[in-house]
Amino acid sequence: MAAIPALDPEAEPSMDVILVGSSELSSPVSPGAGRDLIAYEVKVNQRNIEDICLCCGSLQVHTQHPLFEGGMCAPCKDKFLDALFLYDDDGYQSYCSICCSGETLLICGNPDCTRCYCFECVDSLVGPGTSGKVHAMSNWVCFLCLPFSRSGLLQRRRKWRGQLKAFYDRESESPLEMFETVPVWRREPVRVLSLFEDIKKELTSLGFLESGSDPGQLKHLDDVTDTVRKDVEEWGPFDLLYGATPPLGHTCDHPPSWYLFQFHRLLQYARPGPGSPRPFFWMFVDNLVLNKEDQDVASRFLEMEPTTIPDVRGGSLQNAVRVWSNIPAIRSRQWALVSEEELSLLTQNRQSSKLAAKQPTKLVKNCFLPLREYFKYFSTELTSSL
């Protein structure tokens, strides 16, 4: 997928917009199948756009699009849920915010926005040739950031953040409730409690922590044996709780299950009370040291199955971690498939060679990117955490 930024670093820091009048969409030609059908059905057949899938043009509508006025068929709904919070390494979302598809994307020039739009959606819904005009702009503002809500047939929903949460909670099969995303002007720096492994370098490289910032934004604890609820409440409140077992090959001061039980204990202390709307995220990472029984206990305690994130280079499995987390989209990412046999062999090789796995936090670093929808970030330029 090629992402085409509509942002010229040499240009003046002004924002460009596109106003599309009704004349550009007043006389659509008779279409074939697909999204070209949308303008024809709305303009010629006077069909309500809520009765058409905004993503593909299907008339078999299952639900409503959460961000823009229009319907959504069942297959597109499933695709939207899977891709909603997926991010690329550049920090921008991986797919079009309208159809959650698209190979060539236009990137919003607003530094506080990470959304992208495909050429086909822009041309079919805003107006033919619009994608070319947007691509030629120096600093384009997207349809969710514009001060006005309509561009051609594309009408932003009122209170779309609440609509998005309701859509996810209603349509997703996940047992976890989604937190409503936070407008830019209300986002605060993330407050992190990091257990057993310090992730300050990773969060700084993603722009969530300023270099040399107040260490109060991240508190790291190696041993929590004597930590009680009062301590966590005095240090907090926290927005993100992270914990991990030691990497394979490292000396453990405790049995592997100790790290799981301590993480779960502090999770009860750190999470907001029932019914609190405050976004709160957590992640527990097993560096392949938990046995099968411990993994089952973790899934029962944390109320979900783990996602395996592998490090595959040159066709060879170099490292892997198992992750339990409520951060959106971790389970949706298209990780390379690895078998339990491969993981077992990797574990045996690490243990027999006594060679410690290097930088397991690199494997989960980009899993934190969806938090850009909730917390302030100080830089849009992602840096290496090496």
Region of 177 on the Ramachandran plot (φ > 0 left; ψ -120 to 50 alpha; else beta): beta
CB 364 within 8 A of CB 283: yes
* Closest-CA residue to 137 (of 117, 159, 153): 117
Query: pTM of the predicted model, to two decimals?
Result: 0.80
Q: Report angle CA 1, 87, 211 to the nearest 5 degrees.
A: 125
Cis, peptide link before residue 306, omega less than 30° from 0 = no
The span from the CA of 265 to the CA of 269, in Å, is 7
Using one digit for the tens of pLDDT, what is the confidence trace for 14-70?
A: 444 454 443 344 455 555 557 778 888 888 889 999 999 999 989 999 999 999 999
DSSP state at residue 94: S
* Closest-CA residue to 370 (of 91, 66, 80): 91
pLDDT above 60 (res 230): yes
The partner residues of 194 in beta bridges, in order of sequence, read 220, 242
pLDDT above 70 (res 95): yes
Q: Find how far residue 352's CA is from the centre of its chain.
A: 37
What confidence score (pLDDT) does residue 355 get?
A: 52
Q: Report angle CA 329, 368, 111 to the nearest 5 degrees.
A: 100
The count of other CB atoms within 10 Å of the CB of residue 376 is 15
| Cα radius of gyration (the chain) | 23
Structure tokens at 273: 């009370």
The partner residues of 310 in beta bridges, in order of sequence, read 320
Residue 352's H or E segment, with its range, is: helix 340-353
In CATH, what is the architecture of 184-373?
3-Layer(aba) Sandwich (3.40)
What confidence score (pLDDT) does residue 334 get?
A: 55
Using one digit for the tens of pLDDT, what is the confidence trace for 246-293?
A: 877 666 778 889 999 999 999 999 998 877 888 999 999 998 888 899
- Domain ranges in the chain are 36-171, 184-373
pLDDT above 60 (res 213): no
Spatial neighbors of 313 by CB under 8 A, at least 6 apart, are none
Using one digit for the tens of pLDDT, what is the confidence trace for 190-206?
A: 999 999 888 888 888 88
Spatial neighbors of 265 by CB under 8 A, at least 6 apart, are 224
Using one digit for the tens of pLDDT, what is the confidence trace for 123-142?
A: 999 988 888 888 888 788 89
* Closest-CA residue to 107 (of 99, 89, 119): 119
DSSP string, 241-282: EEEEPPPTTSPPSS-HHHHHHHHHHHHHHHSPPTT--S--EE
